[in-house]
């Protein structure tokens, strides 16, 4: 019996840790809606221990309850420390899935704690954290083995075994500094999954450019062993340093890379036609451009200039392209306004608001409704610090109270008078 494959996207948790870039909470919400439509199993929404994340996380949990996020689960992340777990569930009582992270390599434990904590302290804290999370209502607890790729194999087995005894549901194998390759990760994953028979998440960073390859190689070994596998991804591969396993590249490989579709079948069908739209939205939200040679979404992926290539592609695309543009939602011409442009935002008025929404197919006749909506749009524009997209404007119209909760997060009241 083969294990199942699931995609857990961590754009809203690990992707946002890219140095020097900020992702507005409204953008994180739109990303969750997109991920649900794309077919992702679970989104790691952020940090429930952080005050400024709570309104956004609770708002998204409400979207899940309302059915706006239809099929995808929402999970939080915190350290495997009981006090963090308690704060997470105090802040976000509706949370049902959480990842608890612990440093497991000697290098990390020594470097971070300088002798204040030992391996047994890490194990004890993890055990207490898992049990507490379950007591507080967690249905799924993931134990993150930070720096697993530089950790002694028996220690990983001990960590997983202790976690299972405490009630953990799966182990996250973290290649924290991206040093793995398909050969090395296979040698480590095969004996690990054989020893623990516990569902495994694979969390790969892209420092050596192999995050997608490493993730899919590990996933193949895990599901062949009859164990469920969860691949961690981020959209456009955004994340710390060189980033993470790219969601869209991995999804495309699962369908078109030779032989993979036979072995690895995602639990939910992946809607690749959304790839282009999702990648562009996230690029705009982060303010980070997509390289021209980025798989799937780069500007040059379907561009041909060489005479031989162009001639053959015109006759039969399969000569120099592994799939057609429409597969990933590309192929339509883009229109750029060169005449009159009407926007709505921080300094907008009622006429402009009505005009913009009418172009989106929404008539706003009531003045009171228009004023209330305009107030939200103004706050949202201040929140994002860029022109609002169609997706964001539609979300504000459909879910005004939730949008208000997201874009008007109050500051913490404690502090100096």
**Predicted local confidence at residue 414, as pLDDT:** 59
d(CA 55, CA 61): 10
Three-point CA angle 106, 111, 112, nearest 5°: 105
Give me the DSSP letters along 237-260: G--STT-B-BHHHHHHHHHHSTTH
Structure token pair of residue 89? 């569930």
**Exposed/middle/buried for residue 303 (C-beta within 10 Å: 0-12, 13-18, 19+):** exposed
Indicate the DSSP class of residue 114: T
Superfamily of domain 5-286: Aldolase class I (3.20.20.70)
Task: Give whole-number Cα distances, 30 to 108, 287, 391, in Å.
Answer: 35, 15, 7
Structural domain boundaries of the chain?
A: 5-286, 302-334, 350-406
Do the Cβ atoms of 381 and 387 come closer than 8 Å?
A: yes
pLDDT tens for the 417 residues of the chain, in order = 899 999 999 999 999 999 998 999 999 999 999 999 999 999 999 999 999 999 999 999 999 999 999 999 999 999 999 999 999 999 999 999 999 999 999 999 999 998 899 999 999 999 999 999 999 999 999 999 999 999 999 999 999 999 999 999 999 999 999 999 999 999 999 999 999 999 999 999 999 999 999 999 999 999 999 999 999 999 999 999 999 999 999 999 999 999 999 999 999 999 999 999 999 999 999 999 999 999 999 999 999 999 999 999 999 999 999 999 999 999 888 778 889 999 999 999 999 999 999 999 999 999 999 999 999 999 999 999 999 999 999 999 999 999 999 998 777 665 544
Q: What is the pTM of this model?
A: 0.96
């Amino acid at each position: 019996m083969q294990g199942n494959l699931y995609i857990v996207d961590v754009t809203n948790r690990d992707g946002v840790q890219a140095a020097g870039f900020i992702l507005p909470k409204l953008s994180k919400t739109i990303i969750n809606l997109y991920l649900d439509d794309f077919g992702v199993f679970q989104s790691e929404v952020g940090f429930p221990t952080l005050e400024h994340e709570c309104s956004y996380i609770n708002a998204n949990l409400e979207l899940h309850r309302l059915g706006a996020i239809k099929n995808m689960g929402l999970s939080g992340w915190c350290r495997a420390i009981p006090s963090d777990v308690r704060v997470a569930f105090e802040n976000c009582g509706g949370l049902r899935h959480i990842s608890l992270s612990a440093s497991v390599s000697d290098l990390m434990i020594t470097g971070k704690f300088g002798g204040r904590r030992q391996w047994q302290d890490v194990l004890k804290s993890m055990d207490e954290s898992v049990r507490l999370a379950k007591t507080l209502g967690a249905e799924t607890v993931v134990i993150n083995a930070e720096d697993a790729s530089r950790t002694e194999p028996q220690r990983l087995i001990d960590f997983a075994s202790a976690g299972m005894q405490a009630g953990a549901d799966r182990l996250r194998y973290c290649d924290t500094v991206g040093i793995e390759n398909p050969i090395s990760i296979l040698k480590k994953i095969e004996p690990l999954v054989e020893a623990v028979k516990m569902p495994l998440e694979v969390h790969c960073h892209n420092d050596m450019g192999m995050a997608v390859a490493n993730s899919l190689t590990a996933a193949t070994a895990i599901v062949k062993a009859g164990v469920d596998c969860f691949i961690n991804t981020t959209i456009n591969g955004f994340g710390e340093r060189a980033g993470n396993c790219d969601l869209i590249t991995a999804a495309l490989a699962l369908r078109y890379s030779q032989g993979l579709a036979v072995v690895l079948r995602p639990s939910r069908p992946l809607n690749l036609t959304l790839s282009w739209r999702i990648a562009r939205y996230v690029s705009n939200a982060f303010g980070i451009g997509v390289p021209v040679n980025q798989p799937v979404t780069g500007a040059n992926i379907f561009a041909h200039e060489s005479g031989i290539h162009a001639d053959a592609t015109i006759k039969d695309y399969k000569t120099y392209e592994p799939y057609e543009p429409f597969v990933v939602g590309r192929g339509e011409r883009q229109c750029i306004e060169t005449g009159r442009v009407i926007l709505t935002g921080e300094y907008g008025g009622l006429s402009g608001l009505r005009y913009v929404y009418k172009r989106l197919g929404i008539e706003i006749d009531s003045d009171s409704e228009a004023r209330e909506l305009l107030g939200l749009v103004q706050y949202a524009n201040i929140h994002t610090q860029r022109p609002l997209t169609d997706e964001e404007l539609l979300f504000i119209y459909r879910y005004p109270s939730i949008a208000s909760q997201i874009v008007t997060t109050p500051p913490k009241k404690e502090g100096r008078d």
